Structure 1
Amino acid sequence: MKIVIAGAGSVGRAVALELLDHGHEVTLIDKKPDQLRVASVADAEWVLADACSPEALSEAGLREADVVLAATGDDKANLVISLLAKTEFAIPRVVARLNNPKNEWLFNTSWGVDVPVSTPRIMTALVEEAISVGTPVKLFAFNSAQAAMYAFVLPENSPIIGKSIADVAFPPRVVLSAILRDGEPFAPQADDQYESGDELVFLISARGGQVLDALTQMVTVPLD
């Protein structure tokens, strides 16, 4: 795939190196000359330009791109780049870096963002995941699919422990996609049984209403 990354700072360069290792074609754009450290990602194409400019994006080959990543340290710039990528160049997949969690409400399809990536939210989720048992932790949101990924660690007194996957019916719009046990993930099968400490990974529709409360009540013992 051809991928254009706007923002050649440490985040943009790190992502570019990973994508190149996976065999993709990468172009890095940045308006700051000191960010064009070509030797650090020698196999990428480099463009010195303002990615908020449609002309600059066109010259960078955006019309041939499959994915655009707006990875600058400025949320306003990332939103402008995302909107241009989607509306002016019809990019199929636009990923945007979210720097300030307070701006999360803006990072949606209205601004051309298919997938917002928030480092602060991811770090918060990982911390919460490490200490939370019996509470759903939001890991990731898919704007285009109107769904989110949640992790849930089964407490030792969960009423579903010992039951098979087939015997537990979760609320509508909730999909159990994986189970992590003893540090290893596996796809749940009908005959598998739930165990204490299992980390359940769910995909949950944003249209599910009060589904998180219903899910928590199902897998935890109510307080007296």
Structure 2
Amino acid sequence: MKVIICGAGQVGWQIAKQLSGENNDVTVLDNNPALVRRATDTLDVQGIEGHASYPDVLDKAGARDADMIIAATHSDEVNMVTCQVAHSVFAVPRKIARLRAQSYLTAIYSDLYRRDHMPIDVVISPEREVAEAALRRLAAPAAFDTQSFLAGEVQMMGIHLGEECPVLNTALRELSELFSTLRVTVVGVRRDGHLYAPEPSDQLFADDQVYCFVHSEDINRMLEVFGKTQAKQERVVILGGGNVGLGVAVALEARTERIRAKIIEKDRRIAEKAADTLERTIVLHGDALDQELLEEAGVTRASAVLCVTDDDKVNMLSAVRAKQAGCAMAICLVNDPSLVPILTALDIDAHINPRSTTVSSILRHIRHGRVRNVYSVGDGEAEVIEAQVLSTSPLAGQLIRDVDFPEGVLIGALTKGGSYVKPLGDTRIEEGDVVTIFSLASDVPEVERLLQVSIDFF
């Protein structure tokens, strides 16, 4: 597949890394020569310097025979014009644009992106993706990562195992025997910074980060097994009233269960806009690092503090200050992946990586066809792919134990005729089944081969 990626920033670079690693023909385009050079020096991609929306630059990048263009520059307008030029001049079949401004995303204007108007096939909103990720973190406070699969029936959750975990030093095979009715499958373990897909004989140790698939009805029981409790969220303090913070507050107000939320926002104009938009949420104008203001917002009694300002360091420091004041849980937005390793030392419970959420959303649309969902785990270390099994797939008709999966691949859950089935060695995969597969990044091409997506749909 030939792909042009416009914008070589964090998101563009990560998408280029993923796609070039899967032997796609990738060209990265940016008007910053340093970013283009970084991409060509570190990845197996071609680099073009220039403005993404200029027809001659797109022509030089190979738009005449491109299968897809991903417009992820810093400018919404450049991304939109790029897709228009790619469609009108070069007839590029598939166009994805990242748009940030909420005005472009309002549902009543959705007709704007029709082929006869502004031909964009997929619109990605980083702020909406991040707000949804924040809501998932709030819904599962005991997990550092969570994502829904199989129409919400199954959750993938990342759990950090502490010394209090009652099943430490227990092999996964024994865990399945001890809790035979528990619908949980452990698919990934990160130990000493290394993520791998475990064998049935592998044991769990303190400080492990475990990724597992669990049926939604078994979440509380699973958390008990791992020594965690699922506290009910009643009060939430949101630091940052921009698009992300406001999106979370609006969603919390719409819920049937009452959750009291307060927002602290430093910019008066943004604070006033949030106050005008929200009905029950109290908006305070001030600095998120102000101890007195945090106490006025009730952070000492809050179930969680969500730090989503546009400054990583403010998010981290305010999260630490909230935890010290007595807040039960701290979640913060971190753009810089190099800061993530120190979050545990700072007692920050969970973080949201905007790049990872945006990359997951874009991958979901790149791996189209029978692939229904894609989630990027960690900093692009692994992917979870949800897909329907085709009749032409090598998986169809085989027992799970007989499938020649790579070492870094495990099936986490599946449905047959819409009903959940816990994947065991003697489970037979049949045409029409929907499977969720955990795969280390290096093994994704083999997973796609097993799913036969590229043959049928590209």
What TM-score, normalized by structure 1, do the two folds share? 0.69
Question: Which secondary structure does the structure 1 equivalent of 2:355 belong to?
Answer: helix
Q: Aligned ranges for residues 48-197 of structure 1 at < 5 Å?
A: 48-86=285-323, 88-98=324-334, 100=335, 103-107=336-340, 108-132=343-367, 138-141=375-378, 150-151=384-385, 153=387, 158-164=393-399, 176-177=412-413, 187-189=420-422, 193-195=429-431
In structure 2, distance between residues paired with 1:57 and 1:75:
18
Shift, 1:120, TM fit: 3.0
Listed as ranges, the gaps of 5+ residues in structure 1 are 142-146, 205-210
What do the CA deviations read for 1:157-183 (whole angstroms, capped 9, x no partner)?
Answer: 65322235687697699561456x9xx
Shift, 1:198, TM fit: 4.5
- Say whether residues 1:18 and 2:251 are aligned partners: yes
Q: Relative to structure 1, is the Cα distance of residues 162 and 6 closer, same or farther in structure 2, using a 3 angstrom cutoff? A: same
What do the CA deviations read for 1:37-94 (whole angstroms, capped 9, x no partner)?
Answer: 21211211222221112232122110110011111111121111122223x1343322
Q: Relative to structure 1, is the Cα distance of residues 130 and 68 closer, same or farther in structure 2, using a 3 angstrom cutoff? A: same
Question: Which secondary structure does the structure 1 equivalent of 2:363 belong to?
Answer: helix
Paired residues, number:
202
The two structures, once aligned, show a CA RMSD in angstroms of 3.9
Q: Percent identity?
A: 22
Q: Relative to structure 1, is the Cα distance of residues 148 and 96 closer, same or farther in structure 2, using a 3 angstrom cutoff? A: farther
What do the CA deviations read for 1:77-113 (whole angstroms, capped 9, x no partner)?
Answer: 1111122223x13433222223x3xx12313323443
Point out which structure has higher relative CO (alpha carbons under 8 A, 6+ apart): 1
Q: What amino acid maps onto 2:325 in structure 1? A: F
Q: Relative to structure 1, is the Cα distance of residues 66 and 194 closer, same or farther in structure 2, using a 3 angstrom cutoff? A: farther
Q: Relative to structure 1, is the Cα distance of residues 188 and 16 closer, same or farther in structure 2, using a 3 angstrom cutoff? A: same
Shift, 1:121, TM fit: 2.2
In structure 2, distance between residues paired with 1:25 and 1:47:
14
Shift, 1:213, TM fit: 5.0
What TM-score, normalized by structure 2, do the two folds share? 0.37
Q: Relative to structure 1, is the Cα distance of residues 173 and 165 closer, same or farther in structure 2, using a 3 angstrom cutoff? A: closer
Shift, 1:139, TM fit: 2.9
Question: Which secondary structure does the structure 1 equivalent of 2:394 belong to?
Answer: coil
Aligned residue for 2:241?
8
Q: Which moved more, 1:122-131 or 1:60-69?
A: 122-131
Q: What amino acid maps onto 2:297 in structure 1? A: A
> Highest CA radius of gyration, 1 or 2?
2
Aligned residue for 2:52?
none
Question: Which secondary structure does the structure 2 equivalent of 1:35 belong to?
Answer: helix
Among 260, 280, 284, the residue aligned to 1:43 = 280
Q: Relative to structure 1, is the Cα distance of residues 197 and 61 closer, same or farther in structure 2, using a 3 angstrom cutoff? A: same
Q: What amino acid maps onto 2:246 in structure 1? A: R
Checking the alignment, whether the CA contact within 8 Å between 2:361 and 2:375 is kept in structure 1 is: no
